[in-house]
Structure 1
Amino acid sequence: MDAFGDLFRGMRARGSLFGNSTLSPPWALHFVDGAPLTLCTVLGGSGWIVPEHRPPERLRAGETVVVRGPAPFTFVDEVGTRAVPVPCGEHCATPDQGGTRHRIGWNRNCGGSDDADGGDADGSDDVDGSGDGTTTLIVGAYPVRGEVNRRLLEALPVVLRAAPGGGADAILGHLATEVATDTPGQQVVLDRLLDWMLVCAVREYFDRPGGTPPPWYAAQRDPVVGEALRLLHAEPSAPWTVSSIAGRTGVSRSTLAKRFVDLVGEPPLTYLTRWRMTLAADLLVERDTATVAAVAHAVGYSDPFAFSAAFKRIRGVSPSGHRRGVTPVPARPLRT
Structure 2
Amino acid sequence: MDPLSYILSGLRIRTANFTRMEASAPWGIRSPSGRGVNFVLVVRGSAILWTPDSRQPIALRGGDVFIKLDDTPYRLYDHEDSTLIDCVDVEKLRVGHEIEIGGGGAVTTFVAGSFELDPLEARPLLQTLPALLHLKLDQQRSLAFQSVLEMLAVETASPGLGSEAVVSRLFELLFVHAVRAYAAQPGGPTVGWLSAMGDRHLAEALKAMHGAPAEDWTVESLARAAGMSRSSFAARFKAVVGKAPLDYLTQWRMYCATRLLHQGKLALSEVSRQVGYESVAAFNRVFRRETAMTPGAFRKAGMEGNAHIHPA
Give the TM-score, by structure 2 length: 0.77
Listed one character per residue, the Cα deviations across residues 51-76 of structure 1 (whole Å, up to 9, x for unaligned) are 24645323221111111222232333
**Cα deviation, residue 179, structure 1:** 2.7
Alpha-carbon distance in structure 2 between the residues aligned to 1:148 and 1:117: 29
For 2:178, the equivalent position in structure 1 comes to 201
- What aligned pairs does 1:114-193 form with structure 2 within 5 A after superposition? 114-118=94-98, 133-165=106-138, 166-167=141-142, 168-193=145-170
Q: Would the aligned equivalents of 1:11 and 1:143 in 2 still touch at CA under 8 Å? A: no
| Bigger mean CA offset, 61-70 vs 267-276 | 267-276
2:159 & 2:91 partners in 1: Cα distance? Answer: 26
Task: State the shift of 1:41 in Å.
Answer: 0.7
Report the Cα offset of residue 220 of structure 1: 2.0
Letter in 2 for 1:141: S
Alignment-mate amino acid for residue 23 of structure 2: L
CA-CA distance at 1:195 after TM superposition? 2.7
1:93 corresponds to which residue?
none
CA gap of 1:5–1:39, structure 2 versus 1, over 3 A, is farther
Q: Could you give the per-residue CA deviations for residues 125-170 of structure 1, whole angstroms, max 9, x where no partner exists?
A: xxxxxx9622221123232313341232222333221111123334
2-structure distance, mates of 1:202, 1:326: 25
User: In the aligned structure 2, how far is the partner of 1:155 from the partner of 1:274?
Assistant: 14
Change (3 A) 1:227 1:327: closer
Query: Is the counterpart of residue 72 in structure 1 residue 45 in structure 2?
Result: no
Q: What secondary structure is seen at the aligned counterpart in 2 of 1:300?
A: coil
Partner secondary structure for residue 47 of structure 2: strand
Q: Percent identity among equivalent residues? A: 30
Instruction: Give the 5 Å matches for 1:249-264.
Output: 256-257=233-234, 259-261=236-238, 263-264=240-241
Are the aligned partners of 2:213 and 2:249 in contact in 1 as well (CA < 8 Å)?
yes
Q: CA deviation at 1:176?
A: 2.7
> Matches of 1:176 and 1:277 in 2, distance apart?
39
Structure with higher strand content: 2
Structure-2 separation of matches of 1:53 and 1:63: 19
Matched residue of 1:70: which SS? coil
Is 39-48 or 28-37 further displaced after alignment?
Answer: 28-37
Aligned amino acid, residue 212 of structure 2: E
Deviates more, 1:298-307 or 1:187-196: 187-196
TM-score, L = length of structure 1: 0.73
Measured in 1, the distance between the counterparts of 2:120 and 2:217 equals 23
Q: How far apart are the structure 1 equivalents of 2:36 and 2:15?
A: 17
1:136–1:330 Cα change, 3 Å: closer
Give the alignment of 1:57-136 within 5 angstroms.
57-82=58-83, 85=86, 104-106=88-90, 113-118=93-98, 133-136=106-109
Corresponding residue number in structure 2 for 1:297: 273
Amino acid at match of 1:39: F
Q: Is the helix fraction higher in 1 or 2?
A: 2
What residue is the counterpart of 2:51 in the other structure? 51
Report the 3-state secondary structure (helix = DSSP H, G, I; strand = E; otherwise coil) of the residue aligned with 1:214. coil
SS at match of 1:178: helix
Between stretches 253-262 and 34-43, larger displacement belongs to 253-262
SS in structure 2 of the partner of residue 154 of structure 1: helix
Task: Write the letter of the residue equivalent to 1:49.
Answer: L
* Residues in 1 aligned to 2:95 and 2:75: alpha-carbon distance in whole angstroms: 17
Q: Is the 8 A contact 1:28 1:105 kept in 2?
A: no
